Amino acid sequence: MTSPAPTVAELAERFTLGVRGDATALIHGVGTLAHAGEGQLAFLANPRYRSQLEGSKAAAVVMRAADAEGYAGTALVAEDPYTAFAKIAATFEVPPAREPGVHPMSDIHPDAVIDSAAHVGAFSSIGAGSRVEAGAFIGPGCIVGEDCMVGAGSELLARVTLVTRVRLGERVRIHPGAVIGADGFGLAMDAGRWIKVPQLGGVVIGDDCEIGANTCIDRGAIEDTVLEEDVRLDNLIQVGHNVRIGAHTAMAGCVAIAGSARIGRYCMIAGGAGIAGHLEICDRVVVTAMSLVSSSIREPGEYSSGTGLMDNRSWRRNAARFRQLDRMARQLRDQELKDDTQ
């Protein structure tokens, strides 16, 4: 049985928002400012979309007080419209039914412990010495290797692999195809041939983390690879062995982090950024897209590297000049020294 649609007033009371306009309007769902229809809630957070406000057919719009001035429609007033909208939108998400129990087509090692309130889906495997706690969800086709822990309320959505010695906290969500606890990339050269360095550590992931699809987090060589609580990783991210990521840090798709890097709390790493190994990034650092972090960052702030897009002809010309920068810098220095002596 579905719950009755809330009114604007009920949403305002629940999420501590102001109301301007028709507080009795019913909200059945959410939509974008441009495409929301009757009974839907939209939001305005970015000024560049202000022009869409007057033509929007949304039943109500979450916005700041300044944007609500003079608006003829119904507004839910918030200091941070995007966050308020996210909280409201979550109330319209219908979670799938997940009955506790172990599917008969799963493979459970006799030494594994599965809480009676957990769900293990078809074609999943739970290895020796592993534990799945209450309310956890192991989706179809997942592999939980030896000596792993899946904390209470955590979700492995489908085809997730926990290789070995992986510890998930509570309410961790891992999307399809992710591989946690594979060997780190540890090699040593011996008499002209590579030999593999044993990876004897594990992976520890704190409460409320989210790991995107096809992301890989390698286990440590000796100590553990660690994600503190509320770390959010997008799809296709590589986290090398012995990396430590501080609480509440978020990373967008295709970030690559080399081994033993230390990343602070409340950092934001944009898509495609690369982080070299054995360096430190302090708390509250923003790294913009496609940047290469090749040395430690010790002061909070926003950091960028690389060059912006330009037409190919200009790029070729500038690339040729780039090769001459050292010579030009030396000539400039010599000229400055010459000028100082005159």
The correct answer on CATH 2.160.10.10 for the domain covering 101-303 is yes
Distance CA 186, CA 176 (A): 26
In the chain, the percentage of residues whose pLDDT exceeds 90 is 91
CATH topology of 8-90 equal to that of 101-303?
Answer: no
What integer pLDDT is reported at residue 1 of this predicted model? 42
Boundaries of every domain in the chain: 8-90, 101-303, 314-341
Residue 341 has pLDDT above 80, yes or no: no
Assigned architecture for domain 8-90:
3-Layer(aba) Sandwich (3.40)
Q: Does the predicted TM-score (pTM) go above 0.85?
A: yes
Distance CA 340, CA 62 (A): 62
Tell me the average pLDDT across 2-6: 80
Distance CA 47, CA 283 (A): 29
Residue 174 has pLDDT above 70, yes or no: yes
Give the model confidence (pLDDT) of 237-287 as tens digits: 999 999 999 999 999 999 999 999 999 999 999 999 999 999 999 999 999
What integer pLDDT is reported at residue 266 of this predicted model? 98
Average pLDDT for the chain: 95
Per-residue pLDDT band at 2 (split at 50, 70, 90): low
**Candidates 119, 175, 241, 248; catalytic one:** 241
Active-site residue, 241 included:
yes
DSSP 82-95: HHHHHHHHHTT--P
What integer pLDDT is reported at residue 300 of this predicted model? 98
Give the model confidence (pLDDT) of 59-82 as tens digits: 999 999 999 998 999 999 999 999
Give the model confidence (pLDDT) of 192-203 as tens digits: 999 999 999 999
Tell me the average pLDDT across 178-194: 97
- Using CA atoms, how far residue 173 sits from 45, 141, 165, 230, 233, in Å, is 27, 16, 18, 10, 10
| Contact in structure between 34 and 52 (CB atoms under 8 Å) | yes
